[in-house]
Amino acid sequence: MTKKLWGGRFSKETDPLVEEFTKSVHYDHKLARYDILGSILHVQVLKKAKYLSPKEAAKLTMALDSLYKATVRGVFKYDAKAEDIHTDIQNKLEAKVGDLALKLHTARSRNEQVVLATKVYCKVELAGLIADLAAVEETLAKLSKKNEDMVIPGFTHMQHAQPVYLKDYLGAYIRMFERDRARLASISNNIELTMGAGALAGTPIPSAKYNVSIQGLKIKSAVNSIDAVSDRDFVIEILSALAICGVHLSRLGEDLIIWSTKEFDFVEIDDAFCTGSSLMPHKKNADVLELIRGYAGHLNGNLISVLTMMKGLPLSYNRDMQLDKEPLFNSIETVSMSLKVLSRLIGTIKFKKVRIEAYLEDESLYATDLVYYLVDKGVPFKTAHAIVGRLVRYSLDNKIEIKSMSEAELHKFSDKFKSQQILKLFNPKASVDSKRSIARR
Ligand code: ARG
């Protein structure tokens, strides 16, 4: 292992297995650029507090800036032997500016460094996810527009229920993703960027000197330093919002998987978004959607993992909290990738009109419309419901379509039935357009 940020009070080298066990640089290197931003901000504070001369501050800022630029250019190489990314950056800074770098840690602890870096990482990544969600909503809206007038059988309990517009079905997912987007935006807005907590007890620097900013990120001094280093609510909120989003993604995946089966055959998913079988040459599988559905399990697991890790922790910082990062990164990367691939997949979907129209022939889809018909003629709803129920039973038992029953036959159930009028009810478009309660946008 390379140089540590501590060690003075130790009389022995750390056991190599402990070094391996406690390390986090192999994943927290993803925070590199945000940790560097935090250090640039800390230089501003130290300069204000006169712990650093303007010249020293300028020199440190320049060195930090060059490290920052390396992260942006993608040429920053983390040292796999460092304990964590904070240690690695400190060591790199010492290599650049020598002993001056030793002053950077004045009134500072990794306990708060890691919180600030993680919070900035979250704000940046949430902005990306919000854009990814908007892109999915847009492709869904385009698909709806392309099939503006298409009616499909609607399901409850996976049984034929009532006809619905495809645009409303897809619109339901648009609503879910809108809520996901709003949730993430509100979580991001609520993330407070603070400094001045030190390890837990605050620092000798007056709170006003922590009013610094960089790249539009405004820092305030922590209202409660103990809470500042102990709080991981923002991580749990994000994991929760992403688990919910994962549920939405999984349900959409499942709908499309079912719709692409031979049994349903409602949709064609483009070859570019399916995979084959090594054994069965005819296979075209919706693996992408299956993985999106499967990843919902990871997303739930990540939420439970951090909730459980946090639940028994005494205040303030405990090393357990280092373990929030892998689930956090994993959920963010999983949802981001799922949204990106889903957006492209949706762009290729074709609905099979002829097939869907054949399913719309099923009379049971219009049973509720028959009830409304009777209600409009003054029959109480429950009575009408029972009448149509008996009519459906009769139709099934005798294998006669309601459509082809004579008026006399219909009158056995209710004398309100007029064949001419009833025929018009078995029409998908008429059925969906008779529902006037929907405040479509
Ligand atoms: N890598 C650590 C984390 O992610 C940094 C904090 C370590 N602090 C300490 N006092 N040991 O939480």
The CATH number assigned to the domain holding 381 equals 1.10.40.30
Domain assignment of residue 441, yes or no: no
Average pLDDT, the chain: 96
Question: 330 and 262, same structural domain?
Answer: yes
| Same domain for 312 and 217 | yes
- Does the residue 7 lie in any domain? no
Which residues sit with their C-beta closer than 6 Å to ligand 1? 24, 28, 84, 110-111, 114, 319, 321-322
Token reading at 122: 């979250």
**3-state percent breakdown (helix, strand, coil) of the chain, nearest 5:** 65, 5, 30
d(CA 370, CA 365): 10
HSE of 182 in the Cβ direction (CA atoms, 13 Å)?
6
Rounded to whole angstroms, the Cα distance separating 6 from 29 reads: 19
Q: State mean pLDDT over 383-394.
A: 97
Atom index in ligand 1 nearest the CA of residue 321 equals 12
- 169 compared with 5, residue with greater pLDDT: 169
* Dist. CA 49–CA 209, nearest whole Å: 7
| Same domain, residue pair 403 and 353 | no
Q: Is pLDDT above 80 for 2?
A: no
- Reported as a single tens digit per residue, the pLDDT across 60-75 is 999 999 999 999 999 9
Ligand 1 pocket mutation pick from 110, 118, 306 by most atoms within 8 angstroms of CB: 110
Q: What is the pLDDT of residue 433?
A: 95
Q: Which of 84, 106, 128 is the last residue of a domain?
A: 106
Residue 440: inside a domain, yes or no?
no
DSSP per-residue letters across 196-207 = --TTTT--SS-G
Judge if 392 and 372 occupy the same domain: yes
CA of 86 to the centre of ligand 1 (A): 9
Domain of 53, CATH number, reads 1.10.275.10
β-sheet bridge partners, residue 164: 152
Q: What total of structural domains would you count in the chain?
A: 3
- The answer to whether residue 72 is domain-embedded is yes
Ligand 1, atom 2: nearest CA belongs to which residue?
322
Is the residue at 41 inside a domain?
Answer: yes
Q: Looking at the structure, tell me whether residues 172 and 287 fall in a common domain.
A: yes
Same domain, 148 and 53: no
* Residue 198 sits in the same domain as residue 174: yes
Residue 157 appears among annotated catalytic residues:
yes
For residue 1, what pLDDT band results from cuts at 50, 70 and 90? low
Q: Is the pLDDT of residue 281 over 90?
A: no
Q: Which residue has the tokens 């994000």?
A: 238
Answer whether residue 439 is part of any domain: no
Q: Catalytic: 277?
A: yes
- Positive or negative, the CA dihedral 156, 160, 161, 163 is positive
Provide the token pair at 161: 């229920």
The pair of structure tokens assigned to 194 is 């603070």
Q: How many angstroms is it from 52 CA to the middle of ligand 1?
A: 25
Please identify, among 106, 122, 145, the residue that sits at the C-terminal boundary of a domain. 106
- Ligand 1 atom closest to residue 319's alpha carbon, by position in its atom list: 12
Choosing from 326, 357, 388, the residue where a domain stops is: 357
pLDDT confidence tier of residue 419, bands split at 50, 70 and 90: very high
**Is residue 3 assigned to a domain?**
no
CA-to-CA separations, 362 to 158, 168, 267, 357, 366, in angstroms, rounded: 15, 20, 19, 10, 8
CA–CA separation, 26 and 3 (whole Å) = 16
85 alpha carbon – ligand 1 mean position (Å): 10
Domain CATH number, residue 350: 1.20.200.10
CA-closest candidate to residue 299, choices 338, 271, 348: 338
pLDDT digits (tens, 9 = 90+) for 212-269: 999 999 999 999 999 999 999 999 999 999 999 999 999 999 999 999 999 999 999 9
Q: Residue 163: which H helix or E strand, with range?
A: strand 159-165
Residue ranges making up the domain that contains 292: 111-357
What are the start-end ranges of the H helices in 312-380? 325-346, 353-359, 367-376
State in Å: Cα 350 to ligand 1 middle: 51
Residues 179, 143 share a domain: yes
In a domain, 256, yes or no: yes
pLDDT at 261: 95
Whose tokens are 């054994």? That residue is 279
Indicate if the alpha-carbon torsion angle 315, 206, 187, 85 is positive or negative: negative
Atom of ligand 1 nearest to the CA of 83: 1
Active-site pick, 186, 277, 404, 434: 277
Cβ atoms < 10 Å from Cβ of 169: 16
pLDDT, average across residues 197-218: 97
pLDDT digits (tens, 9 = 90+) for 282-316: 888 889 999 999 999 999 999 999 999 999 999 99
Statement to judge: residues 228 and 321 lie in one domain? yes
pLDDT of residue 440: 81
| Domain match, 305 and 205 both | yes
Do both 272 and 333 map to the same domain? Answer: yes
- Considering the domain architecture, whether residues 337 and 386 belong to the same structural domain is answered as no
